[in-house]
Structure 1
Amino acid sequence: MAQMLSSRRRWQRKLSVLPAQSPPQPPRVPPRVTRWPNHGRSGVMGFSYMPVFLKMSIGITFIRPFARVLVPFTLNRKRRVLYSTILQRYMSSKIPAESYPKKETTSPEQLELDGWKITMKSSVQEGVSTVSSAKDEDPVAATRELIEMWRLLGREVPEHISEEELKTIMECDSKSSKKKYLRYLYLREKKKKANQIKKEIKAAAREKAIQDQLLETTNQDKQQDFLFLRLWTRSMDIAMGWKGAQAMQFGQPLVFDMAYDDYMKPKELQYTVSQLLESEGWNRRDVDPFHIFFCNLKPDSPFRRELIKRYGEKWNKLLLTATEKSHVDLFPKDSIIYLTADSPNVMTSFKHDKIYIVGSFVDKNMQPGASLAKAKRLKLATECFPLDKYLHWDTGTKNLTIDQVTRILLCLKNNGSWEEALKFVPKRKHSGFWRFLNTLKNLSTE
């Protein structure tokens, strides 16, 4: 302080001696700094002027992060467990906290739909558990109620279910099989609706074309031709009806054995009925038709139900014989020949005095020998078509569909030519006739 006062006085003396000029600015005095007592110790950058407790706090703060990592590795081995625990706590404190997943925001419409589904699913269980004893005794009502609940839940259920289909659903063992069958009925109903719409569109277009043609046509001959075509179609139906009636009296019998419904699933049985319908149509349009027999057709069998369903009102007008009797009871055994692809006997020619039997069986599960075993059990003669003799057969079974067998028999009955008859065998199953292939070989060698 004394030094500062002496320097100030010197400046005042100098200013008093100088001539009068613009008042000089006083010298800038540095601000007063309060310093901590040093207590006889020297320091750097003013650190020595700080008190001892402040120095210690700064040092501890600076060293603390290094000490947390280095202390467990630098101390005595005897305290290793303690320091490893400290290290684990420190490392666990460095693990970032997991953030909770964000809740998905859903629209109120979605929330209402989900709630409705949950309510309906719970009501299904409650409805099944709280069914009255009267409904328990009536499985048909319970099945209908279950189907209606599945329809309300939005599952694939058809709109219309017949009594036969309902019985089939009741015969299913598990819920999964019921759902699969209902889905099949749903898809079939959907396909029928689409086909019906297409038919209506085509019929409307056809009617419009006919009307346009009638309006535009001024030639009377064309109108007479149009009327003649309609009369000719009607006369053809009458002629085919007369031929069918004559075949029922004098025609050669052709028997379809309908005793294989236990070997087939519902879908395979439907395929079989479709082939039977085609066979009956080809036989009705032939020049010399067979007298068709549907043997072993029981009144409550799936075959009969499906046939009545397909034919509808025409079933009672068909010119054929449908009976639940066996072919053994209707015809003598020595005149029967059972056609089966597994027979060791090859058919050489068509016999007009024999009665051929065709098994009504579509084998998707590959069960060979079913018809052959039945023929042997009944002690009947068996034959198969000479496919290997005339055709270069590729890999695969020699099973033919029912309508293909019917067309082959009709052709053999009319002209007896195997080459003409075996043209009805699908070309995807063979490479061609042996005679034609041998001719090609001879031409290539020449």
Structure 2
Amino acid sequence: MNPLPSTESGNGEAPLLSKNKLKKLKRDQEWEANRAKRKGKRREKQIEKKQRKRAARQEAAPISPTKQIPVVENGQEKKIAEPKKSIGQEYTQLPLTLVLDCGFDDLMIDKELKSLGAQVTRCYSDNHKASLQAHLAISSFGGHLKERFDGLLGGQYHSWKNVRFLEGDFVQAANQAKEWMKGEHGGKLAGAFALEDDSSQTSHAQSEAGEVVYLTSDSPDTLTELQPYSTYIIGGLVDRNRHKGVCYKKAIDRGMRTAKLPIGDYMQMTSRFVLATNHVVEIMLRWLELGDWGKAFLQVVPKRKGGVLKSKIQDPDDGAGGEHLAEENAEVKISNSKVEDEDAETLDEEYIS
């Protein structure tokens, strides 16, 4: 810790510091000195939280009789407990691809690149934990983002499942996605896609008709629903609104269709309709489960954006009942189970699995 400057100044040297400024300087120095200790405590709390959740799951799991298997040892037969098999997470793979376009490395400062790393990690975590999973790809994976994942994050992304890290851009990723969604492992129609006819002829026709859309809030077109056998590209850019319209222009220059999520059709917001990359991914995953944009937005959009569901337009024949329904809808507030305003380092540690 650097020594505090003296309150005395001699011979016209550095000006005197007031007692309040000295106290503030001392607090700042102590805060910096204890940074590693605070990070260690956060890590310990996260480990304890995971252990509590694991213990709760084990207690809730049904107890099954242990199977005994015969083993011959020294000429005598003995029975020992059969080793437990690891049970993987059950999920349904959907024929739909989400691509995170991370080709904006040169437009972000270090703090924004750190935030993008946390958002990419969270996108993977949300998709990995979802009961209905999309194919996930990270395009233009390189530069500072790759350095962060290989260095500070210890290359843990190499063990991630159902995600592809690609050096090529989003156009190349979209072309490859057509192959990922074909065949036995391409996915089946479930959730919001369950009403689709899953016959071989229909599935083949849909796979040929699947759309490729770059999602950007600057697009004049609105996405009304997600289509099976389609690829949706989300810009991985954290710029604090410095580079407006960059994703839209990039998509148009490559001749790609653009669209925005229908948040303006369902929500009244006190801020802009621009969402973080991980929020867009989570909203789409919720829609795949629910088939309802309004419910998806309510579950995901951060409370700090001050959004409420738009009141339904009253039909003159509805009378008082219509007014009551409008009042109820106006009072529905956004609920968000995610912890907001966490720093990027905490997000990186918490959501890597």
Q: TM-score, normalised by structure 2?
A: 0.58
1:277 aligned residue (117, 121, 129): 121
Relative to structure 1, the CA distance from residue 196 to residue 399 in structure 2 (aligned partners, 3 Å threshold; closer, same or farther) is: same
Q: Which structure features the higher share of strand residues?
A: 2
Are positions 1:406 and 2:249 aligned together? no
Asked whether the 8 Å contact 2:133–2:285 carries over to 1, the reply is yes
User: What displacement does 1:350 show?
Assistant: 1.4
Contact 2:264-2:273 within 8 A present in 1 as well: no
Query: How far is 1:270 from its partner?
Result: 0.5
* Alpha-carbon distance between aligned partners in 1 of 2:304 and 2:49, rounded to the nearest angstrom: 37
CA-to-aligned-CA distance 1:39-94 (integer Å, 9 cap, x gap):
xxxxxxxxxxxxxxxxxxxxxxxxxxxxxxxxxxxxxxxxxxxxxxxxxxxxxxxx
Q: Secondary structure at the match of 1:253?
A: strand
- Alignment match, 1:420: 295
Q: Percent of aligned pairs with the same residue?
A: 21
The answer to whether the 8 Å contact 1:390/1:419 transfers is yes
CA RMSD between the two structures: 4.4
Shift of 1:314: 2.5
- Is 1:317 the equivalent of 2:317? no
The amino acid of 2:290's aligned partner reads N
How many aligned positions are there?
Answer: 245
- Cα offset, 1:399, TM superposition: 0.6
The residue aligned with 2:252 is 376
2:312–2:326 CA contact under 8 A, matched in 1: no
Residues 202 and 413 of structure 1, relative CA distance in 2, 3 Å threshold: closer
* 1:304 paired residue number: 146
Rg larger for: 1
| Residue in structure 2 matching 1:327, options 144, 151, 170 | 170
1:331–1:406 Cα change, 3 Å? closer
Report whether the alignment pairs 1:239 with 2:88. yes
Alignment match of 1:286 (pick from 113, 130, 143): 130
> Residue type of the partner of 1:314?
Q
Instruction: State whether residues 313 and 326 of structure 2, in contact with CA within 8 Å, keep that contact through their aligned partners in structure 1.
Output: no
Corresponding residue of 2:74? none
Aligned residue for 1:357, secondary structure, equals strand
Q: CA deviation at 1:188?
A: 7.3
Q: Distance in 2 between matches of 1:273 and 1:354?
A: 25
2:233 is paired with a residue of what secondary structure?
Answer: strand
Deviations 1:372-408 (A, max 9, x none): 01001101000001122111232x3211011111111
Tell me how far 1:329 sits from its aligned partner: 2.2
Partner of 1:336: 212
Partner of 2:323: 442
| Per-residue deviation, 1:261 | 1.1
| Gap change, CA 1:348 and 1:188, over 3 Å in 2 | farther
Question: Kindly tell me: are residues 279 and 440 of structure 1, through their superposed partners in 2, closer, same or farther at Cα, counting changes over 3 Å?
Answer: farther
Q: How does 1:92-171 map to 2 (within 5 A)?
A: none
TM-score by length of 1: 0.46
Q: Distance in 1 between matches of 2:302 and 2:229?
A: 29
1:226: how far off? 8.5
| C-alpha contact 2:311 2:326 (8 A) present in aligned 1 | no
Once the two structures are TM-superposed, the CA of residue 330 in structure 1 deviates from its matched residue by 3.6
2:157 alignment partner AA:
W
Listed as ranges, the gaps of 5+ residues in structure 1 are 1-109, 115-155, 157-182, 210-223
Please report how far the alpha carbon of residue 442 of structure 1 lies from its aligned counterpart in structure 2 after TM superposition: 1.2
Question: Which sections of structure 2, spanning at least 5 residues, go unmatched?
Answer: 10-24, 64-83, 179-209, 315-319, 328-353
- Deviation at 1:356? 0.3
Residues 398 and 227 of structure 1, relative CA distance in 2, 3 Å threshold: closer
Q: Identify the structure with bigger relative contact order (alpha carbons < 8 Å, sequence gap 6+).
A: 2
CA contact (8 A) 2:166 2:173 kept: no
1:391–1:430 CA contact under 8 A, matched in 2: no
- Cα offset, 1:193, TM superposition: 2.4
Match of residue 96, structure 2, among 252, 255, 263: 252
Question: Shift of the alpha carbon at 1:251?
Answer: 4.5
SS of the aligned residue for 2:151 comes to helix
For residues 102-130 of structure 1, give each alpha carbon's deviation from its aligned partner in whole angstroms, at most 9, with x where no partner exists.
Answer: xxxxxxxx99xx9xxxxxxxxxxxxxxxx
Distance 2:56 2:306 in 1: 44
Change (3 A) 1:445 1:369: closer
Taking structure 1 as reference, are residues 369 and 238 closer, same or farther at Cα in structure 2, changes over 3 Å only?
farther
What amino acid maps onto 1:376 in structure 2?
I
Corresponding residue for residue 366 of structure 1: 242
- Cα distance change on mapping 1:384 and 1:196 into 2, 3 Å: same
Higher helix residue share: 1
